[in-house]
Structure 1
C-alpha cells in the first residue's frame, strides 16, 4: 500500500483561498496517472492529511483512493486504523511525507519517502528522497520506482505502446 500526505506531496503545498474563503489546489496530472498505475498493479492507496479539504476529497474520489483521512492531527492513529482495516504490516507500506508531522509514520514503514523541500531532519530519516518536488511528479517518481522494483512497470505501461 502507498499512503500519501497531501499538502507538499500530492500538491506543491500552496493553499489558495479566494475572497469568499473557497479553497483551491492544483494537482499534477502525472501524479494522478501514477495513482491509477498503482491500482492497476493491485497496490492500494490512501491519504492522510492534517487539513480538511473538500478539494482533496473530490480528487481522492476521482482517483478511486479507498482510505482518505483528512483533518488528522495525529497521523499515526489514522495509519494504525489503515493497517488494522487492511490487515497489513508496517513493512508492506510506502509512506510519502514532507514534514515533522509525518515522522512517526516515516519511522515505521517499509519504504519511507520525502520530497526534496522537506526539512533536513525528515530527509535524514527516510529511505528515499525524490528528485521531483511535491505537486510536480514526486508521486509519479515513487510509483515508477515501486513498480520497476516489483517487475510490474513494463506491463502497466505496455498498453500505451
Structure 2
C-alpha cells in the first residue's frame, strides 16, 4: 500500500466487488426452527447498488455464504455476477476479472473478515465497514464510518459516483 489518500483512487474505479455477510448485511443471522437462516439487507445499500449498475459500473458479489434469498435480492437489483459458496475468493475474483477484461487497479473491494484479505490485497482500493475485523481494517485504504448492513456499501458507492460526476440524486432506479 502506498501513501496516496483513498480519494485519489476513486476516479479510476469501474468495478465494485462486495462480500455479503458483514458488508451487505450486519453479519448476524436469525436461525429459524427449520434451519433456514435469515439475513437483513439495507435498502439504501440496495439503492446505491442499483444506481451504480444503471450508471454502467460493474458489480460483482463474492461470498462464502450460499443463501438463496440473498441471491434473489441481488438479482432483483440487476446484479448477475454473483459467486456464492466461494471459500477461496481469489479464484472467483481472478475468473471474474479475466472474463470481463478488468484491471485490478479499477476494482474496489469491500470485505469485513479474514477470508476477504487475499482479494483485498490485489485490488486498486480495499475498503471495509467500520465494524470489520481488526486485520481487515489494517489493510484497508478506506474504512467506512458505517457498519456492515448499515449503509457502508452506499457510503463508498456514493463517494465514487460523486467524484466521477455520476451521482446527482435525480435517479429513477427501482431499488426495492
Normalised by the length of structure 2, the TM-score is 0.86
Matches within 5 A, 1:49-68: 49-68=63-82
Q: Structure 2 residue aligned with 1:28, among 27, 36, 42?
A: 42
Runs of 5+ consecutive residues of structure 1 not aligned to the other structure? none
What residue number does 1:87 align with? 101
User: Counterparts of 1:25 and 1:152 in 2: how far apart (Å)?
Assistant: 30
User: Counterparts of 2:53 and 2:135 in 1: how far apart (Å)?
Assistant: 31
**What root-mean-square deviation, in Å, do the aligned CA atoms of Structure 1 and Structure 2 show?**
1.1
Q: Determine which structure has the larger helix proportion and give its number.
A: 1
User: Counterparts of 1:141 and 1:119 in 2: how far apart (Å)?
Assistant: 19
Deviating beyond 6 angstroms after TM superposition, the runs of 4 or more aligned structure 1 residues are none
Q: Structure 2 residue aligned with 1:133, among 129, 147, 151?
A: 147
Aligned pair 1:107/2:118, yes or no? no
Aligned pair 1:45/2:59, yes or no? yes
What residue number does 1:158 align with? 170
Runs of 5+ consecutive residues of structure 2 not aligned to the other structure? 1-14
Normalised by the length of structure 1, the TM-score is 0.94
Number of residue pairs matched by the alignment: 158
User: Counterparts of 2:120 and 2:36 in 1: how far apart (Å)?
Assistant: 32
Shift of 1:137: 0.4
Higher mean C-alpha displacement, 38-47 vs 6-15: 38-47
